[in-house]
Amino acid sequence: MYHLHPQLFLKPEMKPTRDGFGKGLLDLGSTNKDVVVLTADVSDSVRVAEFGKQFPDRYFQCGVSEQNMMAAACGFAQEGKIPFLSSYATFSPGRSWDQLRVSGCYSNVPVKVAGAHAGISVGPDGATHQALEDIASIRVLPNITVVVPCDVEETRKATVAIAALPGPVYMRFAREKTPIITIAKTPFKIGRAEVVQSGRNVTIVACGSLLYEALVAARALARRHISAEVINCHTIKPLDVVTLLKSFKKTRAVVTVEEHQITGGLGGAISELAGQKFPVPIERVGMRDMFGESGEADELLIKYRMKAPDVVRAAQNVLKRKK
């Protein structure tokens, strides 16, 4: 049973996913003495400042130095600590990819990289600050787990869950308030994709806050007598191959939805899986090989076609190609 927030389709309660990260860290702070937090001059916006107040001896302000922060965090990890490091995703892992690759992933140490302000919904800051390539650039690294939670509650759960994983993890979250989709008892397990709603005609695989748009789209499709199965694929690496293939075999048509370039991220991962294991027509909703621009979050999601009507259109298109 996949529990959805009771108000989801009435008037969704809104909170930013980054709040869940901050809350998860506070939970960890009091339950796990090995957890340390590093940040690079964006402590408030990535929601780690409160951890710093409550656990000052386990909090390291690195200043604007993302490369040093990443490798230093790996040093903590080698010494048995569980370091969470956080900056905007464009800067870290954007500027610290090599440090993550070598000192994090090749050494295979439990460094937890939190990329904040990911996606185009960062808004007015513009393209420089909109991480739309991070899933792609990190997903190719061996040993790492990549997690993109869908809302504030799932981000809290993911934060706590990734602390227990023995290896490196990349988790991304966003700036703006987004609908709260899940509740405390909604199932969440790293590496397990969840079928949020079952359907027969088309599978919509989403990650991050756009899962909401996928769910709204599924309702619109239902009104047109199209039965959509919606999957919350919060773990992009390792993919839950079993759940995904089972759905693909049932519906034989797939739409992917993400706030990321359609190449290399969730859409890329799903295409690779389907291409090798069970070829089906796929439509990908996301950024189409271009940079964003300044604007309000919703304006941008509309302009760059990542809203529910775009998911509906993608589903209709993929159904035309279905055999």
In the complex, which residues of this chain contact another protein (CB under 8 A)?
A: 36, 57-58, 60, 62-63, 65, 67-81, 83, 98-99, 102-103, 106-109
Minimum separation from the CB atom of position 171 to another protein (A): 20
Minimum separation from the CB atom of position 251 to another protein (A): 44
Query: Which is closer to another protein, CB of 97 or CB of 304?
Result: 97
Query: Which is closer to another protein, CB of 6 or CB of 56?
Result: 56
Query: Which is closer to another protein, CB of 74 or CB of 202?
Result: 74
- Residue 32 region, left (φ>0) first, then alpha (ψ -120 to 50), else beta? beta
Tell me, yes or no, if 154 is annotated catalytic: no
The span from the CA of 209 to the CA of 121, in Å, is: 10
Residues 6+ apart with CB under 8 A from 229: 195, 197, 198, 199, 200, 202, 203, 204, 247, 250, 251
Catalytic residue among 13, 50, 66, 133: 66
Query: Which is closer to another protein, CB of 77 or CB of 162?
Result: 77
- The count of C-alpha atoms lying within 13 angstroms of the C-alpha of 77, restricted to the half-sphere facing its C-beta, is 28
Minimum separation from the CB atom of position 103 to another protein (A): 5
42-78 burial, b for 16+ CB within 10 Å, e for fewer? bbebbbbbbbbeebeebbbebeeebbebbbbbbebbe
Minimum separation from the CB atom of position 170 to another protein (A): 18
**Which residues are known to be catalytic?**
66
